[in-house]
Amino acid sequence: MYTLSNRLRLFSIVLMVVGLIGLIAGFAQRPGSIQEVKEMMAAHDAHGGGHGDTHAVSDGHAKNTHGEEDAHGGDAHYEHVLHQLQNKPWAALYVAAFFFFMIALGVLAFYAIQFAAQAGWSPVLFRIMEAITAYLVPGGIILFVILALSGFHVNHLFVWADPEVVAHDKLIQGKVGWLNSTGFIIRAAIFLGGWLTYRHFAVKFSRKQDEDTTGNKWYKKSFKISAAFLVFFIYTESMMSWDWIMSFDPHWFSTLFGWYVFASLFVSGITTIALITIYLKSKGYLDFVNNSHIHDLAKFMFGISIFWTYLWFSQFMLIWYSNIPEEVTYFITRIEDYKLPFFGMLVMNFIFPLLVLMNSDFKRVNWFVVMAGIVILCGHYVDVFNMVMPATVGESWFIGISEISAVLLFLGLFLFVVFRALTKAPLLAKGNPYIEESKHFHY
């Protein structure tokens, strides 16, 4: 049995407390009126455009627009910046909440695939997968609350939730049959309900199989529900990506987007399995996990990173080459205003894992896998950042107290939930019929 150390417990709690305090500070620093925005932008110009936590209020907006807006006698520009700055802590909260949730969701899909494929190499890792998916419960509840608040326009994250915007936007009006608050919340409840239900019964059956000495009844049940879940998952994951990510830009769409988000959550989940496995082995646990298991996880990290790159390039190349204004503006905005995170993401998610994990021998070196895994996870956080921030914060983005605090808060919660879940059952799923094959797996 795994025992959660006091040091790790305290570390995770400290992360949560520091993150929560920082987020509260980030929300408190938001401007509350157009006048405050004008004062902040004036102070920003007076100080030569230096970057501070609340003063980097979009260089692009602040450069030469003051006179233009005043000349037109309106405050539309300042109201736009006000909404961006008010969105900033909300967007930071959403990015971190979604990122850690998608890690657990990716692990759940990988777990189901192992059962449906009747894989013989992976059962020694099942308890780690089950522990990671435990985060789906608190992470899903938090994300659902944020989605509900956004869907009912408590904040300005989703422009289609603003009746004033919809009233003057014919394109969004044509999508109100799908993009409406009621349908949005109902679908979110269905997605989360289905995923959590599968997780509940899969873990229950796994525990029952450990206790069953007469046969494989519970394993067969796990196989059946896993196969059914994967059908449900492939549909709901695509719809989730449309609702929770793509609808930030309701004028834009991509038919590859569901697969693109899937590749991101899948590789992030597998990478997390590898990192936690290596950590537990370093602490003297998981003596039944050998280098071949790590090697296979690293192969998945490498392979899915290439798959993600293929989807990214397919989506980007076709849209960029066709140069249709309502489509290509999605990438133009990110290349012009998010140049560093946009191209940095490609380096972290493709070039770095390609160079580090291409060699088969390196996949068996734990510190190489850890180094690659940390970069991959950071890269996919930046990927989510790139998908959310341009539509919610626009040019007013920067990495400040809100972004850092949100990551710390959810990282602390993730670590606490996952490692606490590891203490709930033996680290070896001894009742699994393939467990001996898995223990003696060598490649």
| Residue of 257, 246, 233 lying closest to 308 (CA atoms) | 257
Q: Give residues with Cβ within 8 angstroms of 279, minimum separation 6.
A: none
pLDDT, tens only, 315-349: 999 999 988 888 899 999 999 999 999 999 999 99
Taking residues 149-165, report their average pLDDT.
88
Confidence (pLDDT) at 85: 79
Distance CA 235, CA 438 (A): 31
Q: Give residues with Cβ within 8 angstroms of 308, minimum separation 6.
A: 260, 263, 264, 267, 349, 350
Confidence (pLDDT) at 51: 41
3-state secondary structure of 402: helix
What percent of the chain stands above pLDDT 70?
90
3-state secondary structure of 55: coil
Distance CA 83, CA 393 (A): 8
Global pTM reads 0.90
Distance CA 102, CA 29 (A): 29
pLDDT, tens only, 191-227: 999 999 999 999 999 999 988 878 889 999 999 999 9
Which two three-digit tokens encode residue 227?
Answer: 């196969």
* Cβ atoms within 10 Å, residue 52: 13
Which two three-digit tokens encode residue 386?
Answer: 């790139």
| Residue of 408, 417, 414, 412 lying closest to 23 (CA atoms) | 408
**Rg, the chain, Cα only:** 23
- Contact between 199 and 135 (Cβ < 8 Å): no
* Cβ atoms within 10 Å, residue 274: 26
Say yes or no to pLDDT of 38 above 90: no
Distance CA 243, CA 260 (A): 14
